[in-house]
Amino acid sequence: MTYCLGMRINKGLILLADTCISSGAHRTYAKKIYTYTNTRKNLFIATSGLRSVRDKTITYFDQLLHREDHDLSQMYQVVNAFGKCLRKVAEEDKEILKDAGYKFDTHALIGGQFIDDPTPELYLLFPEGNWVRVNEHSECFSGIGSVDTAQGLLKMLLSREKSVDYALRTGLLAFDLTVRNIATVAYPCDVLIYLNDSHQFQSFRLEEEDVTSFVKLIKQHLSDQLEDHSNSFWDLTNNQ
């Protein structure tokens, strides 16, 4: 299973992705984020689902991006193009995979800023190749894979006007919570940050020990607040 979280805040985009690939009891680790940068064309893709479907779709899409005659200048065009590549793979492999007992369920988070985009964009793409855009009328985040565990935390804490540091810390709390509840999601966590009009990605990898002290600090602070009786909802003296 996978956990990838994309966040669209006023300052830009943040992407978190786990690196665990499970096949039965066998576990390996690999990067799940694809990036493309070329002058004023900056793109990331993170996927969930079968690795073979992901790799084949990325291969088709990468060939398209590196053709000099491609006319992709906005992110919605990029997402449409990736969707076409995914549908092509579905035509070639979906029935074969189904006969072998595998489900064609690739989802993707696609974000970035191309030459004619005034601001960075973030999209969630479905296995059928259709998509939704993360915009001002939606939540400022979207996830793929094991998304349910930390959904409530993100809705409670995250909003567009928050700083990059705040959003990253909130995302890491959500990631750590998912790791502790879903056995097939694990550290390391790959992080990608794109600031508005920067035309470059900042990326780094965090191990569990890099995050542990921060999570313990938040846990202790929350515990202290819950132990604080100055804002009690229940008056013990009147409810004996």
Write the pLDDT tens digit of every residue in 65-93.
Answer: 988 778 899 999 999 999 999 999 999 99
Segments making up each domain of the chain, as ranges: 3-228
pLDDT band of 146, cuts 50, 70, 90: very high
CB 116 within 8 A of CB 73: yes
pTM here is 0.92
For residue 168, give both structure tokens. Answer: 């990253």
3-228: CATH architecture: 4-Layer Sandwich (3.60)
**pLDDT tens digits, residue range 36-69?**
998 889 999 999 999 999 999 999 999 999 887 7
pLDDT at 237 over 70: no
pLDDT band of 238, cuts 50, 70, 90: low
**pLDDT tens digits, residue range 214-229?**
999 999 999 998 888 7
Query: For the chain, what is the total number of helices (H) and then of strands (E)?
Result: 5, 12
94-106 mean pLDDT: 95
pLDDT band of 24, cuts 50, 70, 90: low
Percent of the chain with pLDDT over 90: 80
* Cα 64 from Cα 9, distance rounded (Å): 29
Residue type, 49: G
| pLDDT for the residue 10 | 96
* Cα 141 from Cα 135, distance rounded (Å): 9
Q: Is the dihedral of CA 10, 212, 155, 43 positive or negative?
A: positive
